Amino acid sequence: MLNITNLLSSFKIDKKIPIIVAVSGGIDSMVLLNILITEKYKPIVVHFNHNTRKTNERDQDLIINFSKNNNLIYHIFSININEGNFQSEARDLRYEKLRMIAKKYKTSYIATAHHLDDLAETILIKMTRGSNLYGYSGIQPLYVKDEITYIRPLLNIDKKTIIDYALLHKIPYFTDESNYSDNYLRNRYRHTVIPILKQENQQFLKKVYNFHTQLKDAASYIKNQALKELHNNSINIENFKKLDVVIQKEMIAILFEQDNLETTFETIDKIRCMLLNDSPNQEYTLENKYTFIKAYNEAFIKKNQTKNVFDITLNDSLNILPNMEKITFFNNPSNIDNETVKICYNKLSLPLRARTRKPGDTLSFKYGRKKLKDYLIDLKLPKYERDKLWLITDSNDIILWVSNIYINETLGSEKQLQFLWEKGKNEQRYWRNISKWETNCWSV
């Protein structure tokens, strides 16, 4: 098992630092646990009882007894999932608990028992479903995400070698009967596809590992180059157009990865074409209520938000709008500061109203009138930002003000209103020099 110790050594883990180990009670995780003990690491055992079969308690008892006999800290979690995608939800829950235990013991290392056969299965599944270059390379021996380092010390060892090791060292384990069921995609590859490939070439798994290594190295280089071109999780489209197509596609794939979204070659290709065309504002709908947005010279992924449509009457003091923004009107203009902007008027039809945009909205300027839609295009305001806008009108629907981008300056100069706009929790405050309904207008 020299390959295992070599791979472990390459991780350069201080043996005084705990390693959180996911242990199912099957042969793979029990062999991994035994090797970590033998090599004088400090494993902490985490077992998940999925409550899916009668033998779950047997596996749990094995791990408890093994941990006690070897003076290991252990944690047992019971998982109950009744609906949905069991494998996906159970995996997400397991990793959540593993991260929680890692935090408890102030370590960043989590070890799983993925091996060479698992790597071959994963690569074939990725090829069937589609992925990016890094995805096609399969499981990684070391992977860092959210300050957690995931390690797979058995990744270069095939299943047969693991079985031989367990028999030689008399390591206790149990077999999960579900591993023999072809109800699961991975098992179908394991039982039908891979045996045929092994018949074609007895060195098939070795070839898989070589393929994985070469692809991983190439993918890592490309990914590093792509990361240099991304800023604040967004793409600068002008710079994007100058890059090689491989870097372009990887930049898109990284954005998907950062939001844990599945992608395919076709999806990446469609988005790339969208970014290269001349249309300034475009959107591509993704899974899980996300959208890939192209907004003039910027592109990024954004979680969808329900458009908040409203039309309400404003009172002459504090108003909390349906979008949770606040607007407060004042009598006393003494709070004027350098940021003050005023709207003067001769006559308004009261009461005032606050509402979201609607088709046909028109703004008044000293030089004439302009549709709000055209005004927003002139400002190059992205579509997703336009959907957040709201405006203040009088009761005759004359637009007085639009969310920090427009003030009507055509209404006269005898009187004025003053209000404070507070935008959500960030309290972005904008003083609008518009005092209560009937005060006299003053100059700034």
The residue ranges of every structural domain in the chain are 9-214, 232-303, 311-422
Higher-pLDDT residue of 328 and 399 is 399
SS (H, E, C) the chain: CHHHHHHHHHHCCCCCCEEEEECCCCHHHHHHHHHHHHCCCEEEEEEEECCCCCCHHHHHHHHHHHHHHCCCCEEEEECCCCCCCHHHHHHHHHHHHHHHHHHHCCCCEEECCCCHHHHHHHHHHHHHHCCCHHHHCCCCCEEEECCEEEECCCCCCCHHHHHHHHHHCCCCCCCCHHHHCCCCHHHHHHHHHHHHHHHHCCCHHHHHHHHHHHHHHHHHHHHHHHHHHCECCEEEHHHHCCCCHHHHHHHHHHHHHHCCCCCCHHHHHHHHHHHHCCCCEEEEECCCCEEEEEECCEEEEEECCCCCCCEEECCCCEEECCCCCEEEECCCHHHCCCCCEEEEECCCCCCCEEEECCCCCEEEECCEEEEHHHHHHHCCCCHHHHCCCEEEECCCCCEEEECCCEECCCCCCCEEECEEEEECCCCEEEEEECCCCCEECCCC
- In this prediction, residue 288 has a pLDDT band, given cuts at 50, 70 and 90, of confident
Task: For 147-181, write each residue's pLDDT tens digit.
Answer: 999 999 999 999 999 999 999 999 999 987 777 67
Task: For 425-439, write each residue's pLDDT tens digit.
Answer: 443 333 333 333 344
pLDDT at residue 332 in the model: 61
pLDDT at residue 200 in the model: 93
210 has pLDDT over 90 = yes
- Asked whether the domain spanning 232-303 has the same topology as the one spanning 9-214, the reply is no
27 is in an annotated binding site: yes
pLDDT at residue 275 in the model: 97
234 is in an annotated binding site: no
Higher-pLDDT residue of 67 and 424 is 67
284 has pLDDT over 70 = yes
130 is in an annotated binding site: no
Higher-pLDDT residue of 182 and 344 is 344
Give the C-alpha separation, 204 to 198, whole Å: 5
Percent of the chain with pLDDT strictly greater than 70: 90
Higher-pLDDT residue of 330 and 71 is 71
Q: The pTM is what?
A: 0.65
Pick the CATH number of 9-214 from 3.40.50.150, 3.90.640.10, 3.40.50.620, 3.90.1150.10: 3.40.50.620
26 is in an annotated binding site: yes
84 is in an annotated binding site: no
Higher-pLDDT residue of 9 and 361 is 361
Burial class of 439 by CB neighbour count within 10 A (0 to 12, 13 to 18, 19+): middle
Give the C-alpha separation, 383 to 248, whole Å: 24
Q: Which of 139-143, 175-179, 391-395 has the lowest mean pLDDT?
A: 175-179
317 is in an annotated binding site: no
Mean pLDDT score of the chain, rounded to an integer?
Answer: 87
pLDDT at residue 84 in the model: 59
Q: Which CATH architecture fits 232-303? A: 2-Layer Sandwich (3.30)
